[in-house]
Homo-oligomer: A and B are copies of this chain.
Amino acid sequence: MAGDIRPTDHTGLRVLDLDECLARLVEVPVGRFAFQLDGELTVLPVVHTLDGIDVCFRTTGDSKIQAAVDHDRVAFEVDQFDARTRTGWSVLVQGTATVVDDDEDVRRLDRVARVPWVPPHEAASTWVRVRTQSITGRALV
C-alpha cells in the first residue's frame, strides 16, 4: 500500500492504531472473555457490544463469570485468521470487569446490543462491562 509506513513490533507484526482496534471490535460479533477465579484462568466466547471504548456482553447464566467480575483484572480478545493465506489480526482489551446493575444502563445496552445468539428465554439478563484500560492490536503483514 502506498504510504503504508505504519509501525511493526519486534516480531514483525503490524501495530494497529486505536481506531483500527475499535473498528475491529465492532466488526466481529464474538470475542473471548478471559478471567481468573480461584487461581484458574478461564477463556469463554461471548457475543459482545462496544459501548464507547468499553466491551459489554450478556452472561448466559454462567455464574463463574459473575463471580469473577468484581472489579478484577480481565482481558477480552477478538481476532480473525485465514489459514489459506496465513493472514490475520487480533485485538486485546485489558481492564476490569463489573456487573452492570444500573437499570437505565441495562435498558440502554439492551437497545444497542447485537441480537443474542442464545434464545432470550435461555439467556440470563445480566450485563457485564469491561472497563477498558488498554487496547492493543496486531496484524500479520
* Chain A residues proximal to chain B, CB less than 8 Å: 10-13, 29-30, 32, 34-36, 39-45, 60-62, 73-77, 79, 81, 83, 86, 88, 90, 92, 94, 117-119, 122, 140
Contact = CB atoms under 8 A, between A and B. Distances in A.
A76 to B, nearest CB: 8
Secondary structure at the A interface, as helix, strand, loop or mixed, is strand
A86 to B, nearest CB: 4
A75 B122 contact: no
A38 to B, nearest CB: 10
Contacts of A79: 30, 32, 45
A67 B127 CA distance: 34
Contacts of A117: 86, 88, 140
A73 B41 contact: yes
Given A30-B83, A43-B43, A44-B90, 9 more contacts: A11-B62, A34-B41, A40-B94, A41-B94, A43-B92, A44-B92, A45-B88, A86-B117, A117-B140
